[in-house]
Structure 1
């Protein structure tokens, strides 16, 4: 109940923030200039990602599962994402977005396939409201499309925090906007979600998860942004939390060379793990089950612009993640060196190749918690 009142206060403050900041709605001249535009307006986008995977570790398959004996799949072709996105501007201020991933049909499509399904109403640059199924702003990766990330996939912590309702696709509502504090641009977001993932018939309980994100633009020249995240909630009448901090930068070294990077840290309650265990197997209370992670993703870009080849990029993400560091700590360290060839602008065409290397504090036979090396060759096409 305290979490609800906290979010309610934030909601009220946020509602009046545009007026306190002297925000102005669309003026008459803008209305006149747009009166001849017809609605709705549609936009279609697509993403195709296909992979070839080769497991380099003895007795470990392409999914990272160790096999003490028996046959297993050492290499395979795979469809990672086959997405179709439809966006519609219903009016100048109201838009609707749908996103589906047909690659999810390769496994049980229950609670999959449909990713985004939301409506967004923009009052002005200071305030917009989103409702439906979307990715709540809670870190760098949540606002970054999968086809633009500088690595093969999102981080391990992104998916684990998604299982716990803070990231990935969730059902709920969000307020966000932008304003300036003197010369510092600020982006904010407040979200309230069910916290049990996408395409669910209903919330798993009556509890909700409330989160906020603040991003401060510290340098225009080097594009340095600092992000702060915090969230509280209730899951099966037990309090949960999550916090995080992150930074991004983009430095132009020469006319052709640039260096950019991401640094992110997250920590929070792993209630998904706690409630998945039988009561007899739980060690103490929910407060004993916490996860934390850190990653650094540097990327060097060389602009070639030779015939069809636009650029070459070199990246290597290092991540350390522990999904239960208080009770049964087993840190997973992941190294992901990658080379990317870009064809066309904005990654319209992209060929990536490299490795995903996992190292655990303790390798557990016949499980996915086992040291392994995986070679990845990925082709991407954006429509």
Structure 2
């Protein structure tokens, strides 16, 4: 996809925002700020521990194939131990800090600190965020990992994170919400360094720009359509990313609800391109493009029996190719899971299921190898 076309797409995204912003009126002022005591503090936390059992011969619990030697195929693991603090300095100003102490179990360089940003809200139509945060570029970026309907985020989420579009990034963002006629509409526009979290500085002088628009097509069934576009430069090379997603939540009866997420992404895999030796890659970074799609259906049964709140069944199917133009090797991942919820909003949660990976081609002694992993995960959040 050429840069002029991508810029036109982003222009079309932003134009409705500009036009609507000219027509909105300032909302009626609420109670005087002096009646509220500031600063206000809210502490948050998340603990996730897992038991992992690899079921494929010669593949360890991390998905790495070993042609010789012993293989660790069962282990207990602490996935996350997050501690966070949200501070409201005023009605409009919020400072957010989030760290993952579980990252200390390995080399913590470039890890640990996740959120570190300030957000100033002028009104519901316009807010500015600056620091290290998760930029809006898809469904998963807007949902905390402790309430997703699977064990973890998708493969494409992490790959697009390595390329600077998703996960925790350093930069600035403008966001807001208003109505386009009878359709509720949300937007976010971000400019990012694009080289991940906890970095001392940008890797080059290039920046990555992205836009996300969300249209609420049905309030009753919570049907939302999301559109994403991004463009930028990495080491003077033009890069891009595109995506579309749709979510829905249907109440089948008093006990059963069914929700669905579908998301597609495509973009330049410049992380792969610059990781290759110069003599083993083409001259054009655009030759290396990744794309993926996943479906995540989830059926929830409301129990409310003593401390047990609900039972959930989900099975995510994902198809992802890190370089579909050159040396294509599609990875298909199936993640069936059953979840028991205790308390409200996943205060306590026990999950059990499998992560099944299938590649078009196995590469021995790498993580690009067919894998069957059994997982039991326990979490507590506050």
Cα distance in 1 for residues equivalent to 2:189 and 2:342: 37
Q: Judge conservation of contact 1:49–1:378 (CA < 8 Å) in 2.
A: yes
Aligned positions of 1:266-281 closer than 5 A:
266-281=265-280
Structure 2 equivalent of residue 24 of structure 1 = 26
Shift of 1:13: 7.0
CA shift for structure 1 position 72: 1.7
State how far apart, in whole Å, the 2-side matches of 1:217 and 1:19 are.
Answer: 18
**Residue 257 of structure 2 corresponds to which residue in structure 1?**
258
What CA deviation, in whole Å up to 9, does each residue of 1:176-196 have, x standing for no partner?
000101110000000000000
Instruction: Quickly say closer, same or farther: Cα 1:268–1:16, change in 2 above 3 A.
Output: closer
- Distance between the aligned counterparts of 2:174 and 2:234, measured in 1? 22
In 2, are the aligned partners of 1:18 and 1:126 still within 8 Å (CA)?
no
- Contact 1:184 / 1:217 at 8 angstroms: preserved in 2? yes
Distance 1:98 1:228 in 2: 28
Equivalent position of 1:55 in the other structure: 54
- Is the contact made by 1:223 and 1:249 (CA closer than 8 Å) also made in structure 2? yes
2:188 is matched with 189
Give me the whole-angstrom Cα distance separating, in 1, the residues matched to 2:42 and 2:339: 28
Instruction: Measure how far apart 1:23 and its partner are.
Output: 2.6
Supply the RMSD in Å over aligned alpha carbons: 2.1
Post-superposition CA distance 1:336-371 (Å, at most 9, x none): 000000000100000000000000000111110000
1:1-383 matches, within 5 Å, as 20-24=22-26, 27=29, 30-32=30-32, 34-383=33-382
Structure 2 residue matching 1:195: 3-state secondary structure? coil
| Alpha-carbon distance in structure 2 between the residues aligned to 1:9 and 1:288 | 25
Segments of 4+ moved more than 6 angstroms: 5-16
The unaligned stretches of length 5 or more in structure 2 are none
| Maintained 8 Å contact 2:13/2:211 | no
Moved more, 68-77 or 276-285: 276-285
CA drift of 1:69 comes to 1.1
Q: Secondary structure at the match of 2:146?
A: coil
Q: Is the 8 A contact 1:283 1:327 kept in 2?
A: no
The alpha-carbon deviation at position 258 of structure 1 amounts to 0.7
SS for the counterpart of 1:369 is: coil
Distance 1:61 1:41, change over 3 A: same
Structure 2 CA distance, aligned partners of 1:94 and 1:11?
27
d(CA) in 2 for partners of 1:360 and 1:335? 12
* Separation in 1, partners of 2:328, 2:286: 15
Tell me the CA shift for residue 116 of structure 1: 0.3
Alignment TM-score, normalising by the size of structure 2? 0.95
Count of aligned pairs? 379
Please identify, of 265-274 and 277-286, the stretch whose mean Cα deviation from structure 2 is larger. 277-286
Say if 1:283 and 1:15 are closer, same or farther in 2 by CA, change over 3 A. Answer: closer
Alignment CA distance shift 1:14-1:110 (3 Å)? farther
